[in-house]
Chains A and B, each alone.
Chain A
Amino acid sequence: MAETAVAHDTHATSTGLSNVKLGMWLFLGSECLLFGGLISTYMLYRGRVANGPTPEQVYDIPFTSVSSFVLLMSSLTMVLAVTAAHKKDDRNTNLWLTVTALLGATFVGGQVYEFTAFYNEGLGFTTSLFGSSFYTLTGFHGVHVTVGIIMLLALVAINKRSRVPGSKSETVEMIGLYWHFVDIVWIIIFTLVYLIPV
């Protein structure tokens, strides 16, 4: 009912496509440049360890593998939320959005634990070029995931009050695109940063 009402609020565009969606894809394309720069900097500096531990001494591959798997599965729950939103199934949309936020929070919690463990092993932000580039890259990614979690929970809250502006399914889809993007960035980070040795 509400979905039918808001459908009349959308305006025709010259391309016949949603400007919001065009803007989101353009934003994600530009984000490739941001993360490309951070990943390249890490690749360049990962072997530069004058002080402190080396990557091999601090990385805990089994732990990071589990958190990577959790983030990967959050992409499945996100796409299920988008599917439910397209079917105008509010209950399942909220359910899958909440599960996605919880999986994301588990990933961020794992990252906080990892950073704490690395710091206790002597790897601070300014200990070495490796440390600086590692914390900057994974920290930026963690901030992106955190922003995604806030958007997911905010969407659940406003969806429960039926106050989502514009097309509800499109709003869920846009947040979904952002969420999947942070997942594909982690797919690259997991391989290049953790699995390929210096």
Chain B
Amino acid sequence: MTTSTPTHAEHGMSTRGYVNIAVILAAITALEVSTYYVDFGPLFLPALLIMMVVKFFMVVSYFMHLKFDNKIFSWLFYAGLFLAVSVYVAALATFHFFLR
């Protein structure tokens, strides 16, 4: 009955908006690939990681609608993500991965 209202909440973006997001994602991917051919010096690693994180959150926020949906969904997903990142960063640290 009423459940369909919050579940199928307005997703806040038009088709044009989704296409624009896809174009931005494609441009960032092209930039990522360019790091394979162009020497970015000391910016190489941070630039790649930042672009990866930006793409990740763009897909999660806009294509997966987390930005427009109920915050409980965000909590469920980000709790799993935070737990995973914390556990595996700690695990890698015990193997001195970050000191190599």
Assess whether B76 is in contact with A22, with CB atoms less than 8 Å apart.
yes
By secondary structure, the A interface counts as helix
Question: Closest residue to A78 on the B side, CB-wise?
Answer: B63
**Complex: chain A residue closest to B62, CB-CB:** A79
Contact with A along B83-96 (1 / 0, CB 8 A): 11101100110010
B32 CB, nearest partner CB in chain A, Å: 6
Whole-angstrom distance between the Cβ of A80 and the nearest chain B Cβ: 7
Indicate if B56 sits at the interface (CB-CB under 8 A): yes
* Residues of chain A with a CB closer than 8 A to B33's CB: 61-62, 65, 195
Known: A21-B73, A83-B11, A180-B59. A69 touches B32 (CB 8 A): no
| Complex interface residues of chain A between 45 and 87 (CB less than 8 A to chain B) | 61-62, 65, 68-69, 72-73, 75-76, 78-80, 82-83, 86
Q: Most chain-B CB neighbours within 10 Å: which of A7, A22, A32, A190?
A: A32
Q: How many A-B residue pairs have CB under 8 A?
A: 145
Flag whether A120 is at the interface (Cβ < 8 A): no
Binds B, one of A12-20, A130-138, A148-156: A12-20
Determine the interface band of chain A, counting residues with CB < 8 A from chain B.
35 or more
Residue of chain B at shortest CB distance from A26 = B76
Residues of B within 8 A of A32 (CB): 77, 80-81, 83-84
The reply to whether B80 and A30 contact each other, CB–CB distance below 8 Å, is yes
A33 touches B83 (CB 8 A): yes
Residue in A11, A22, A183 whose beta carbon sits within 8 Å of that of B59 in the complex: A183
A52 to B44, CA, bound (A): 28
| B71 CB, nearest partner CB in chain A, Å | 11
| Contacts A/B (CB < 8 Å), 27 sampled | A7-B4, A10-B1, A10-B3, A11-B1, A11-B3, A12-B3, A13-B3, A17-B3, A17-B72, A18-B3, A25-B73, A26-B76, A29-B78, A29-B83, A33-B84, A43-B92, A75-B25, A76-B19, A76-B22, A79-B63, A83-B18, A86-B8, A180-B60, A184-B56, A187-B52, A188-B56, A191-B52
